[in-house]
Amino acid sequence: MSLLRLALALVLSAPAPARPATPAVTRPPAAAAKTPARAGPVYLVGGELHVGDGAVIPDSVVAMDGGVFTVVGGADARGKLPTGAPVVDVRGRVLTPGLFGADTTLGLVEIDLEGSTRDDSRGGDPPIRAAYDAASAISADSSLLPVQVVEGVTSAAVTPTGGVVSGQVAVIDLVPGDHRGLVAAPRVAVAAHLGQAFGGSRAATLAKLREVLADARIYPARKAAVERAQSRPLAAHPLDLEALQPALKRQAVVTVSADRASDILAALDLAREFGLRIAVVGGAEAWKVADELARAKVPVVLQPTQNLPGSFDTMGARLDNAALLHQAGAEVVITILGDAHNLRNLRQEAGNAVAHGLPWAAALTAVTLGPARAYGVDRTHGSVAAGKVANLVVWSGDPLELASHAVTVYVRGVAAGTTTRQTLLRDRYRDLTPFQPRTSEKVVREGK
């Protein structure tokens, strides 16, 4: 995890350096806006804090500075704040970790149907694209980012799509405009797919994955031979085999998209065979094999409202999938699959899981600490604890309830802006008077 730590250290130790005086050139104001605000200190006192791991602190103290939580505790922790600290009274508010969107193309896709705006997939290539790195393609200027932030989403596992192995997943914090700093942890996971992802058959897909993983396993010892062209052809390009090494060493997770119960079991077998640390994504029929998933400690990343038999692979889809998995002791992660534009509806999904039997605390964990654990970034993300990245939401009420809204969203200890492309459009059209036509031309009837 050294890479991760390094990345994080860079991120966390990045209070804005005083900039040298800019030369006498008129700069667009946007350039100034991108200078990161100094992260803190912020002191929030009196809120009902849901830590993310199930713990609740009714009368809490949360301090953030330099992008991390510095103090987290109950009323007795007030003593740890500096005297005269400018505390913000958040009594009556609910505090949670920032929401964490798993398995999303956020930042990779601006408009789904416009190919020129999509960078989620290496197209027209072999099915193994392990070296395709989402971190290198994410746009910090994506209009989608602020739209999610204002509703409490602060982190996301940005995941490439397509093929059998799609590529490398990056965890980002949602700091719009911060091109250098957006990525919190690159290459935390490799995204793979079961089912009919290859060769028109799930068996072919599985065989392909085995072939690649087997070759990736022997690749380090054969590297020199491969370079000298003294090796049999391997199942993928050396860069792709290289990119699979962290997964083989359990330093990176393999996310496996699978819905049918048989595919999920195949994923578990594959994980055992190659010693992989996996997370199942989709998991429509995961409830059928919940006990095995729990025993293998494999989290399931699912969208609770996806209850339809959309294909013969999801015949067993049901609304209480999350509840049944949780009952069996498996880790549930809730996300929005395939719609990065509305990742903000994470909390509605969590609420629906509660309506169908998932305990409330488990539902909150499923959109905060759960995903952080699933992607192996829970040392830094997912809950409100001293030392972790200060991603926090102050809610007007129950965060899973439709009547509530995010009052203030802190990303890396800084209160996020409340303006989005959508609020600008809204405000432009709130009053239609300025849009009334200057001349009124009568509608001419078409000729008979």
Partner 1 sequence: VPAVITRRQVLLLLPLTAALACGKRGPAPPPQPPVATAPPPAAAPVEYEDPPGDPQRKLLLRGAVVMTAAGKIYERADLLVEGSKITAIGVDLPVPEGAAVVELAGKTLTPGIIDTHSHIGVYAAPGLTGHNDGNEAIAPNTAGVRSGDAYFPQDPQINHARAGGITTMQILPGSANLFGGRSVTVRTLPGARSLADARFPGAPEGLKMACGENPKRVYGQKSGPHTRMGNVAGYREGFQKAREYQRTWDKYQRDLGEWAAKKDQPPPKDGKQPDEPSPPARDQALETLAGVLRGEILVHNHCYRADEMSLMLELAATYGFKIRSFHHATEAYKIADRLAATETAASVWADWWGFKAEAFDGIRENAAMVHQAGARAIIHSDSPIGIQRLNQEAAKAMHAGRRVGITITDDDALKWITLHPAWALGIDKRTGSLEPGKLADLVVWSGDPFSVYAVAEQVYIAGELVYHRGKVEPRTDFDLGLHPEDLQRPAPAPVLRGAP
- Give the pair of three-digit tokens for residue 417: 């802006």
Evaluate the omega torsion of the peptide bond into residue 126 and state whether it is cis, within 30 degrees of 0: no
* The one segment of 13-21, 63-71, 208-216, 354-362 that binds partner 1 by CB under 8 A: 354-362
Q: Does 275 bind partner 1 (CB under 8 A)?
A: no
Q: Does 292 bind partner 1 (CB under 8 A)?
A: no
Contact between 416 and 152 (Cβ < 8 Å):
no
Residues 293-312 that bind partner 1 (CB under 8 A): 305-312
Backbone conformation region of residue 95, classed left if phi is above 0, alpha if psi is from -120 to 50, else beta: beta
Cβ distance to partner 1 smaller for residue 27 or 312: 312
End-to-end CA distance of the chain: 76
Q: Does 291 bind partner 1 (CB under 8 A)?
A: no
Cβ distance to partner 1 smaller for residue 48 or 151: 151
Residues 139-198 that bind partner 1 (CB under 8 A): 143-144
Alpha-carbon separation of residue 149 from 135, 265, 356, 390, 392 (angstroms): 19, 36, 27, 14, 11
Q: Does 113 bind partner 1 (CB under 8 A)?
A: yes
Torsion of CA 218, 163, 174, 35, to 10 degrees: 80
- Give the pair of three-digit tokens for residue 234: 């391997």
Using CA atoms, how far apart are residues 340 and 343, in angstroms rounded to an integer? 5
Q: Does 203 bind partner 1 (CB under 8 A)?
A: no
- Closest listed residue to residue 394, CA positions, set 14, 36, 49: 49
Q: Does 443 bind partner 1 (CB under 8 A)?
A: yes
Residues 312-341 that bind partner 1 (CB under 8 A): 312, 314-316, 339, 341
Angle value at C-alpha 134, between 385 and 417, nearest 5 degrees: 50
Cβ distance to partner 1 smaller for residue 91 or 430: 430
* The one segment of 42-50, 226-234, 376-384, 430-438 that binds partner 1 by CB under 8 A: 430-438
Cβ distance to partner 1 smaller for residue 226 or 319: 319
- Closest listed residue to residue 379, CA positions, set 8, 56, 29: 8
* The one segment of 30-38, 155-163, 267-275, 398-406 that binds partner 1 by CB under 8 A: 398-406
Cβ distance to partner 1 smaller for residue 123 or 309: 309
Cβ distance to partner 1 smaller for residue 110 or 263: 110
3-state secondary structure of 120: coil
Residues that bind partner 1 in the complex, under the rule CB under 8 A? 110-114, 143-144, 305-312, 314-316, 339, 341-342, 344-345, 348, 351-352, 354-356, 400-403, 405, 422-423, 425-426, 429-430, 432, 435, 443-446, 448
